[in-house]
Structure 1
């Protein structure tokens, strides 16, 4: 089998498929491989080391080249990180001094001398016109010569790689896991699923594909392979058409659909006809996306295929030529009349819709009897609702307690966030508590039978991944709302970007807030130095890639919150550049090294969202004085150009406050349910691992677990969500 799928396995599972090859003594090469991995912050497990040592040197060498390339990219070490100030974090000048130096150099430059005095006379100097501003004055080789080698520290990151099965088996296993995921996948997950689905179209398939977008990706691969389509609703056909057109399958934004080959049109119409023939009422789902159905009809030409009359009926409903009353429209009438009890009883036919409408039902209910009717309807359908929806409702209700001046944070499926005052009627506490008790009981039933569970305490405050879009692709990335400890003396942020076609300027900044979320200070290209902080200097274009850094000595930081952000000052956005990512490193005391050292990288995440301002995470100083990170994965719309930390600090502070003060549903909630259902749940204290099989939940897989242990780490945390 071709090793092209190998990087997917390493990225998603931190397992290395052991290659098939001639036996031999590869010990020396494996030791060299392990040493090279450690430079990037990775290491072979003892079992993987032993497996590889029994292979020939040539087989191990080929594998090492491939895996090293993958893990270096995971850590952001596949590119050259070059700060503007060559000695960073040392010798960073004061901002005004630096600007004066750039002006002086421009006056001494024959090509720039003519324009600079005119700007000085006018009283305003455009920094971008100064020859030495924002462009590298040294090479990457010069940078390396100016910095000492990294001094290894006990706190450096070590990500252990474990042995996998045969590559073919690993590919199949990963495909089944992604396709059958109970939560939506992120952009990278969907892209990888598409790659694997094409390869696995003729092989084993998951028993269920509960997420509709996953199903569309799988159906696209099956269509290309000539296999039967997996269709349950008419909307499945619409999502598949979007997938075939390479446009958003979320059906949230208008999209342009192109003409499709006749064979594809026939397959879509035949599948659509079969769905409606089996359940005519499903044609009513067309109303949710009528305009898109009209556009699809113009591309499929259903009138040319009289053998599929039910498919033609779907487009007749979209055009208003045929009536198909939807459940939503009937429920809307009852909401309009204020009859919450009747609406709840009607929505029992769509359990997921009932749970998603719960808050509105409770706000509509005017009497105790109507509230009781809503609760009774919910209790009746709970066993039929997906675990992800149940958990989402639990989190929602926990945040619906009566609060004065409460605010709501809205985050769309693309990660764009905004905040609004909460003007909704409160949900009565007694009703809210009754519902939470019912939901807890149903979820406790579903997680029962877990047996013995061993939990790493560091994972307890990780948010449950109720959507893959609550996170991003990368290394050490946790779902939005997760809290993790920050252990180190020095915190260093970094951003890297490489423009596609036009000159592009990203600006790394950090906003410092006090406990009331008021601005204390900031670090950016306009404020290069502050107490405990240094900015590496502004780089204004990146045809071959560029990096910016911010250094913070945590014991000297003023304020209670540090909010790193990446602003698009000019040029291409996050979704348009060839590559862009953000991350942070932690170092100890006087630990030396280059500005970027992969062994000290704790997190590296892709920047691929909408908007012109990215907010990856926020660092919080607790009452105990310790720092923690809370993950945001948010984007602000920003301005078309010239976004700066000074201009968005009020918006950022409001959004950060809403996320920080929101109660997230975490791993701790599920492990408490497991314990309540009779499982033996132990928090690992670093001692000896149990000899028998367990369910282990942690930030990484420890060596020495039983081979048949079920292991849950951030890479497959979605598997913790009950079906």
Structure 2
């Protein structure tokens, strides 16, 4: 268990908890450990190397083994990445040439000849019936033997592992950071919070737990150890019941409630009773989740516990036996009657709902007096609105310019994206500008005074993580809407998947688009080569894991956009397979190397969304000829089987345009608000750091920062979002 907890700390913080072991002469083993890390793109900080050098060699070796296992998984090097074409990217045949070769070999095989001849006689051909199609024709070791060694480059990725504190201290700090997050966590981080809560539920707690899903998994842990539950709405109890049943605490997917023990039933009913007794108006919250509450009532048997009558009222409302007029229905009635002033007056008692309705209120207001009332109400309640909501509304209105004609993009909490035309009437420019100025002032008021601010320039175009659901788990992954430079001559995508029990065929493809988002070309199993690019070959099953690659020479690509995608052709979806991930590598033109070289990996993200087509990011050639990436983290519905890049090119180009042309709030926005007469702002040159404490914001933590510095990197970027 301690090993897995140490791995959790390394993944989240890039710190190795203070190594423990007998003292000795471990300098040689520590240097060997550092060299082994370099092969997967990591290195030890000077402080950590010194600490390890003071341990015995055997202790260093033990630490190195488990740490290397963790970082290899972080970058995807734990898998054996084979390619169908053994010397990829060299000698990739044309598609028709390759298919003809497969047919010829099938006709020369006594077992397959008759079947192939029958198909050809009917002018059809099933590629899967060809013995050599879609199945590796060589071993992983044979593939490695024909590949050149990688030539080291200064551009290779180097991720520093820093010296951490004792494991218990690191775990407590990580628990407090995740539990107190001001933005929702992604699925992996929520699972990690559950693991940490089991250990930390009765220890130090954050000042507040604003995210309801976090509260649910913490309540689950507190219930298990007899701690008090953190409840202030009836929906908190519903989320807790979902957690206890292994269900979805976000309430986006239905949960099949398990039979609950009598002590657990008593705890849930007592919690419901206390919430409603303190504020009967909270019964109105039941309406939004009537069906789950009805199913939960069947498990809790509230009629057996007459001493908690308010809990019974919850289920009576769910069944329609008791009336509890909902707040939303009252607001909806006023809006239907175009009673803007009445709606504003009511919504001031629910500031978050008021903010989410601002666009509509400004559009339906009858005159300037009503619009002034809307803006005044927004300004008045601003201090009571969660920071991420204020920022979300600010981002929304900066995309409501009258001349904007980009389609609207919607993304649910599971990453499913869809696009619709924007047919809304415009918001009057003067009111929009007043509101934006007020929101900026509110965010500026909440931001801390950073003192001396040290910035990595590469972080300035990173989108603010207003939800953890906008970022996939992985290494080097940026939030949706972020823009990052692409520095390298060779761009290579990869996908790896391993099926659970059914034959599963994922297809890595790339759609190449013109400036107007129309299709130029594509790379896929049906188009193995195009100008500047090669596909590694189709693999149609992955019982032991399978990989596909696309290689692109960026100076030869003529298109404006490159859109990598993973299509599910057959079998298990992204949440059913045992494992699946996507990433990309960057290399200089003469580096050579294996198809997968971990130290050239710039990003590796888990594929765990709802949909049959995954769109991780898009690459765009700028006017100066340089390439930049914009991060998507989207899943399209697709069709039930046989998804192909040719079939979805219109829907993909539409959603890509919507995200590319949307303006996201970035780190630069907050830095600009924090910069005043009391703040010194320096750009980090990649080498030297000040001797004094600073607030550092960057992609990764530099070595040598003063120990009292506040450090914000990708791992804790959510800490920038004010509460």
Structure 1 residue 321, shift from structure 2 partner: 2.0
Structure 1 residue 257, shift from structure 2 partner: 2.0
Aligned equivalents of 1:402, 1:576: Cα separation in 2: 44
- Counterpart contact for 1:448–1:677, Cα < 8 Å: no
Aligned equivalents of 1:264, 1:586: Cα separation in 2: 53
Q: Which residue of 2 aligns with 1:407?
A: 407
Secondary structure at the aligned position of 2:542 is classed as coil
* 1:96-111 correspondence to structure 2 within 5 Å: 96-111=96-111
Q: TM-score, normalised by structure 1?
A: 0.99
Structure 1 residue 283, shift from structure 2 partner: 1.4
User: CA deviation digits over 1:15-61, x for unaligned, max 9?
Assistant: 00012322212111111110100000000000110111111222211
Secondary structure at the aligned position of 2:675 is classed as helix
Where does the alignment leave 5 or more consecutive residues of structure 1 unmatched? none
* 1:188-267 correspondence to structure 2 within 5 Å: 188-267=188-267
Q: Which residue of 1 aligns with 2:330?
A: 330
Q: Which residue of 1 aligns with 2:648?
A: 648
Aligned equivalents of 2:437, 2:448: Cα separation in 1: 16
Aligned equivalents of 1:125, 1:184: Cα separation in 2: 49
Residue 467 (structure 1) aligned with residue 467 (structure 2)? yes
User: CA deviation digits over 1:419-455, x for unaligned, max 9?
Assistant: 1011112111100000000000011111142211111
Aligned equivalents of 2:363, 2:252: Cα separation in 1: 26
Aligned equivalents of 1:48, 1:253: Cα separation in 2: 44
Secondary structure at the aligned position of 1:215 is classed as helix
Which deviates more from structure 2 when the two are superposed, residues 425-434 or residues 279-288? Answer: 279-288
Aligned equivalents of 2:334, 2:166: Cα separation in 1: 57
Structure 1 residue 687, shift from structure 2 partner: 5.7
Aligned equivalents of 1:679, 1:321: Cα separation in 2: 60
Aligned equivalents of 1:67, 1:553: Cα separation in 2: 34
Aligned equivalents of 1:448, 1:296: Cα separation in 2: 43
Q: Which residue of 2 aligns with 1:674?
A: 674
Aligned equivalents of 1:164, 1:504: Cα separation in 2: 41
Which deviates more from structure 2 when the two are superposed, residues 340-349 or residues 317-326? Answer: 317-326
Residue 532 (structure 1) aligned with residue 532 (structure 2)? yes
Computed over aligned residues only, the root mean square deviation of the Cα atoms, in angstroms, reads: 1.1
Secondary structure at the aligned position of 2:213 is classed as helix
Secondary structure at the aligned position of 2:218 is classed as helix
Aligned equivalents of 1:681, 1:235: Cα separation in 2: 44
* 1:112-191 correspondence to structure 2 within 5 Å: 112-191=112-191
Structure 1 residue 326, shift from structure 2 partner: 2.3
Aligned equivalents of 1:584, 1:327: Cα separation in 2: 48
Aligned equivalents of 2:537, 2:443: Cα separation in 1: 51
Q: TM-score, normalised by structure 2?
A: 0.99
* 1:568-579 correspondence to structure 2 within 5 Å: 568-579=568-579
- Counterpart contact for 2:488–2:588, Cα < 8 Å: yes
Structure 1 residue 160, shift from structure 2 partner: 0.4
Q: Which residue of 1 aligns with 2:683?
A: 683
User: CA deviation digits over 1:152-174, x for unaligned, max 9?
Assistant: 01100000000000001001110
Residue 281 (structure 1) aligned with residue 285 (structure 2)? no
User: CA deviation digits over 1:583-613, x for unaligned, max 9?
Assistant: 0000001112111000100000000111110
Where does the alignment leave 5 or more consecutive residues of structure 2 unmatched? none
Residue 451 (structure 1) aligned with residue 454 (structure 2)? no
Q: Which residue of 2 aligns with 1:544?
A: 544
- Counterpart contact for 2:85–2:92, Cα < 8 Å: yes
Structure 1 residue 392, shift from structure 2 partner: 0.3
* 1:358-397 correspondence to structure 2 within 5 Å: 358-397=358-397
Which deviates more from structure 2 when the two are superposed, residues 333-342 or residues 453-462? Answer: 333-342
User: CA deviation digits over 1:189-233, x for unaligned, max 9?
Assistant: 011001110011221111110000000010011111111111111
Instruction: Summarize the Cα distance change of 1:71–1:404 in structure 2 as closer, same or farther, 3 Å threshold.
Output: closer
Q: Which residue of 2 aligns with 1:90?
A: 90
Aligned equivalents of 1:650, 1:58: Cα separation in 2: 58
Secondary structure at the aligned position of 1:114 is classed as helix
- Counterpart contact for 1:448–1:679, Cα < 8 Å: no
Residue 580 (structure 1) aligned with residue 580 (structure 2)? yes
Aligned equivalents of 1:532, 1:235: Cα separation in 2: 54
Aligned length: 723
Q: Which residue of 2 aligns with 1:710?
A: 710
- Counterpart contact for 1:444–1:677, Cα < 8 Å: no
